[in-house]
Amino acid sequence: MKKVITYGTFDLFHIGHLNILKRAKELGDYLIVGVSSDDFNLEKGKVCMIPDYERMEIVSAIKYVDEVILETSWDQKKEDILRYQIDTFVMGDDWEGKFDELKEYCDVVYLPRTEGISTTDIKDQIQKGKTKTLK
């Protein structure tokens, strides 16, 4: 069985998130998703709209996802890859090259991001009181 792992915040879950999970699953048989904790996000300077336990519940309901774990630190990826005997590590290409040191332990794949959507854009639009159709 080929095991794949990916990580993300998945705040205000959108089609870009769904697409990467679908394509990650296509690379193997079993997909594990590490969802960033609220505290880990604060370390990265990001405040989430949706708490981590709800983001985990949403991601675990996606049909491509077999298992969800909490991501709490940068060092965790290597430990997870070894613990879960991962074959392929996947991230969007906004992270291109950033996790190449993991190539020592498994395949590392950066998939193209879905154009035109991000949690930041959604938050900006809401703040400006705009909707996509009125833009």
CA dihedral (72, 78, 79, 82) in degrees, to 10, reads 150
Does the protein bind ligand C2G through residue 10 (CB under 6 A)? yes
Interaction with ligand C2G in 19-78: which residues (CB under 6 A)?
Answer: 20, 36, 71
The rounded distance, in Å, linking the Cα atoms of 32 and 63 is 12
**Shortest distance in whole angstroms from residue 75 CB to ligand C2G:** 10
Instruction: Find how far residue 110's CA is from the centre of its chain.
Output: 12
- Kindly indicate which of the ranges 13-21, 25-33, 78-86, 126-134 contains the residues binding ligand C2G, using the contact rule CB under 6 A: 13-21
Site stretch for ligand C2G (CB under 6 A), options 2-10, 25-33, 78-86, 126-134: 2-10
Task: Say which residues have a Cβ less than 8 Å from residue 52's Cβ, sequence separation at least 6.
Answer: 35, 36, 37, 38, 70
Q: Is 13 in the site for ligand C2G (CB under 6 A)?
A: no
Footprint of ligand C2G (CB under 6 A): 7-10, 16-17, 20, 36, 71, 91-92, 94, 113-114, 117-118
